[in-house]
Amino acid sequence: MNTTDAKTLKTASRFWKKSHYLGRMTLKELVVVYFQYYTILTYLTLAAVMIGLYIWKPAPLLPTIASIAVAILGFPLVWYVTHRWIMHGHWMFKVPFLSGLWKRIHYDHHLDPDHLEVLFGALYTTLPSVALATALPGYLIGGFGGACIGYAVGLLSTCFYEFCHCIQRLGYKPKNKRLALMKKRHLEHHFHDEDGNFGITNFFWDKLLGTYYVRRERPNKSSTVFNLGYTPEIAKKYPWVAEHSGGEVLCSPKEKDRYKSSFEEVDKIQDIR
């Protein structure tokens, strides 16, 4: 190995050992980090493999279109159901062998929403979930080819959702009004009341099922917006998440001042229901 290769590997090693906080990044810096992150690289690689398999053994045109449509239209519903009743459910931390999973997929994210490493879903949860939501319907519609193209669309949709999720953490007000409103709704979910605004890029199901809100409609801030209901009192009865957290029950972001200017700036955006 030459000196240049050794320096490159050493730099990459340092890059992945440090934490990344989105509130400190520019959009350009986010793009660089985003396309280096292993979960995104996994999604993109697997999507390319699925597209290749589809080309090798395609489904007929109509089943292909139907598989793609189901994957695109069904994704917001799958996210809503997962986010509302699994990630925000109060049942996972009560089960010892699921407590560590719940801590990883959402508790840590709400404690520190700006932390890139816990913003992305864990591959062992996202890959099978996306497959169940997109590859299975695709298979029922168009067989092997339908499953491949459906899964590819689901993985690419996940990449899109995750990128929008990241943008909502950058410390600036987006120029695009739609993106700015998405950011405002999501910041309300994280910093005002976690029991609502479960969508990331699409709030259709929130509106349909009554969980969409603007902050003025809920004047009182939720006391569990950061800990998702896992309070010190609850931890006495169900101690496993606290044990996974080094014995602590944390109730607020580690560096909550990072979010103040971004939240206040986005809060100036005119609400559109």
pLDDT in tens, 233-248: 999 999 999 998 876 6
How far apart are alpha carbons 83 and 80 in whole angstroms? 5
Over residues 199-227, the mean pLDDT reads 92
Rounded Cα–Cα distance for residues 116 and 166 (Å)? 8
> What's the CA gap between 148 and 154, in Å, rounded?
10
Dihedral of CA 118/121/125/127: which sign? negative
What pTM was computed for the model? 0.84
Predicted pLDDT of residue 167: 87
Tell me: the pLDDT tens digits for 109-156? 998 888 888 888 889 999 999 999 999 999 999 999 999 999 999 999
* Whole-number Å distance between alpha carbons of 6 and 29: 24
* pLDDT: which is higher, 15 or 92: 92
How remote is the C-alpha of 180 from its chain's centroid? 17
Q: Is 61 left (phi over 0), alpha (psi -120 to 50) or beta?
A: alpha
**Average pLDDT over all residues of the chain:** 85
**Tokens 């580690």 found at:** 254
Supply the DSSP symbol for 157.
H
Among the residue ranges 8-12, 128-132, 139-143, 215-219, the one predicted with the least confidence is: 8-12
DSSP of 214-245, one letter per residue? Answer: -GGG--SPPTTTTTTT--HHHHHHS-HHHHHT
How far apart, in whole angstroms, are the C-alpha atoms of residue 28 and residue 26? Answer: 5
Gap between the Cα atoms of 94 and 132, Å rounded: 25
What is the average pLDDT across 168-175? 79
Instruction: Extract the tokens encoding 12.
Output: 């990459």
Mean pLDDT of 44-55: 98
The answer, yes or no, to whether residue 53 has pLDDT greater than 80, is yes
